[in-house]
Structure 1
Amino acid sequence: MTRRKLHPEEEELWRRVASKTERLHPQPKFDPEDFVTQTPAPGPRPKPTFDAVRTLTPSMPSRPTTSVSLTPSITDQVRAQPIQMDRKAFDQLKRGKLRPEGKLDLHGMTLDRAHPALTRFVLGAQSQGKRLVLVVTGKGKNRDDGGPIPVRHGVLRHQVPQWLSMQPLASAVLQVTPAHLRHGGGGAYYVYLRRNR
């Protein structure tokens, strides 16, 4: 878009308006003497210390600390385990096509109650000849109050795969994988059991 030239009467009107206005935020007058600096003699510079850096930036707002975990999430760790069972059955399992023959819900349990319940359930299911069971842990609540010791989000969700990989359950469990969304998603695990001999 091109600008048109103002007519002489418009220019006169603009000059009158501009002469009667005041700046909202007046700027100080520029004085070049204020910006003349003395150059220091060349020499070694002192290295700033932590205290010097802190005193140079006192007005910086403190940011809330965020925890960064370099370890993969428990779901990624479980998924990364090698496949021990039949590949075709594993693919059906991941797609939620296999139906669990038993279910254990650990919601609301403490670690002291959940571990024996898990052990009884898995060993009992294997003795009954079941091959696929579902263990529901829940996704967990965020209870970290920002204290000096971090609190893990979803304690049971992190602990159950470890319990399943230790004896006496390790000899009964063939494969552990996160459940499909229709069976609980990230808050549940499929536990594929070995045949009872």
Structure 2
Amino acid sequence: MRPPRRPRQLSAEERSLWAEIARLIKPLRRPEAPAPTLARPRPAPEPAPVAKAPPPPPAPLPRPPWAAPAALRPSPPPPALPPLAPLERRVRTGLKRGSRSVDAVIDLHGMRQAEAHGALIGFLNRSRGAGHTVVLVVTGKGGAGGDIDRERGVLRRSVPHWLRLPEMRALVLGFEEASLHHGGSGALYVRLRRR
């Protein structure tokens, strides 16, 4: 273990220099004890009076959000999506019993996904424009076995997903599986929003 180092002593020149520096420094608060006076080798010349600089300009006020450029403005939160609702009991009962009919029907059998998606959006827009409230979308039942049969049920799985998308919420109020005489699990009743 090494012995602790002794602190180095200041030379006379260093003490004199320190005294000069300490004399020029203005203390922040009143010192508790007077600083020791050391012999000065020569008197320091008085500094020339310095012209007072003009005060700096005031800092600009922060801009309110409504005045900020559009690129810097925080974007408003997106409007809440209207929720999907099931068909009304009266409408569902009427469709099941046959006392109420659907306003329009689209059959997506045999279409590829991209083709079916475009056809569905066009159909729903036209139906809503015509004032229809309940339409039938036939997707097909799909298969139960084998890889080839499983591929046929793609639209049956995809159409409900498409109807839940945010861009479809402006058109679609709700949807549910159709009654057996309208296609059962291979078709959907879609309730459209009013214009």
Please report the TM-score for the alignment, with normalisation by the length of structure 1. 0.50
Equivalence for 1:191: 190
Shift of 1:169: 1.7
2:176 maps to 1:177? yes
1:150-161 → structure 2 map (5 Å cutoff): 154-161=153-160
> Could you list the runs of 4 or more consecutive aligned residues of structure 1 that deviate by over 6 angstroms after TM superposition?
none
CA contact (8 A) 2:138 2:187 kept: yes
| Distance in structure 2 (CA, Å) of the matches to 1:133 and 1:123 | 11
Residue 135 of structure 1 aligns to a residue whose secondary structure is strand
Closer, same or farther in 2 for the Cα pair 1:178/1:96, shift >3 Å? farther
| Distance in structure 2 (CA, Å) of the matches to 1:105 and 1:170 | 21
Q: How many residues are treated as equivalent by the alignment?
A: 112
| Distance in structure 2 (CA, Å) of the matches to 1:145 and 1:188 | 22
Closer, same or farther in 2 for the Cα pair 1:97/1:178, shift >3 Å? farther
1:95-174 → structure 2 map (5 Å cutoff): 95-142=97-144, 144-145=146-147, 154-174=153-173
Equivalence for 1:35: none
CA contact (8 A) 1:133 1:192 kept: yes
Q: What residue identity is the alignment partner of 1:156?
A: L
| Superposed CA offset, 1:100-131 (max 9, x none) | 11110000111011000000001110011000
Equivalence for 1:20: none
Equivalence for 1:92: 94
Residue 121 of structure 2 aligns to a residue whose secondary structure is helix
Q: Percent identical across equivalent pairs?
A: 42
Shift of 1:164: 0.7
| Superposed CA offset, 1:108-161 (max 9, x none) | 111011000000001110011000111000011356449xxxx56611011001
| Distance in structure 2 (CA, Å) of the matches to 1:87 and 1:140 | 28
CA contact (8 A) 2:175 2:191 kept: yes
| Distance in structure 2 (CA, Å) of the matches to 1:191 and 1:85 | 8
Please report the TM-score for the alignment, with normalisation by the length of structure 2. 0.51
1:30-41 → structure 2 map (5 Å cutoff): none
| Distance in structure 2 (CA, Å) of the matches to 1:152 and 1:183 | 23
CA contact (8 A) 2:103 2:135 kept: yes
| Distance in structure 1 (CA, Å) of the matches to 2:93 and 2:85 | 10
Shift of 1:86: 3.4
| Distance in structure 2 (CA, Å) of the matches to 1:158 and 1:95 | 26
| Distance in structure 2 (CA, Å) of the matches to 1:88 and 1:138 | 26
Residue 166 of structure 2 aligns to a residue whose secondary structure is coil
Shift of 1:190: 0.5
| Distance in structure 2 (CA, Å) of the matches to 1:139 and 1:101 | 22
Gaps of 5+ in 2: 1-82
Q: What residue identity is the alignment partner of 1:106?
A: L
Q: What residue identity is the alignment partner of 1:140?
A: G
CA contact (8 A) 1:122 1:169 kept: no
